[in-house]
Amino acid sequence: MIARIWHGWTTPQNADPYQRLLEEEIFPTIAAMEVAGCRGVELLRRPLDDEVEFVTIMRFETWQAVRDFAGEDYEQAYVPDAARRLLKRFDQRSQHYEIRRRVDLP
């Protein structure tokens, strides 16, 4: 399993609109792509002093599934124009890690 991790930062005023955009438009668009081997996305959010940080973690079964989603330059971040308008700054490149072990605790 591969984890694709990306960070974006927005102003406190744009945090709720950005989260809505993710949940109502961007995540459904990704789901509609029906990429074989894409196993979901997690959304993390935390307030900082003068901005709000968002982290997305997408899970893929294989490296090929990552490429099917992102293309051959698979580290290139996927940031639609509507998101760019709400973000203050963001990672240009996503990081990828092999998930070596996952332990679900009771």
Over 16-81, what HEC string results?
HHHHHHHHHHHHHHHHHCCCCCEEEEEEEEEECCCCEEEEEEEEECCHHHHHHHHCCCCCECCCCH
- What would the mean pLDDT of 22-43 be, rounded to a whole number? 95
Does domain 2-98 fall under CATH 3.30.70.100? My reply is yes
For the whole model, what pTM was predicted?
Answer: 0.92
Task: State residue 69's pLDDT score.
Answer: 95
pLDDT band at 89 (very low <50, low <70, confident <90, very high): very high
Task: State residue 12's pLDDT score.
Answer: 97
Task: State residue 2's pLDDT score.
Answer: 97
- What would the mean pLDDT of 69-96 be, rounded to a whole number? 95
Task: State residue 18's pLDDT score.
Answer: 97
pLDDT band at 105 (very low <50, low <70, confident <90, very high): very high
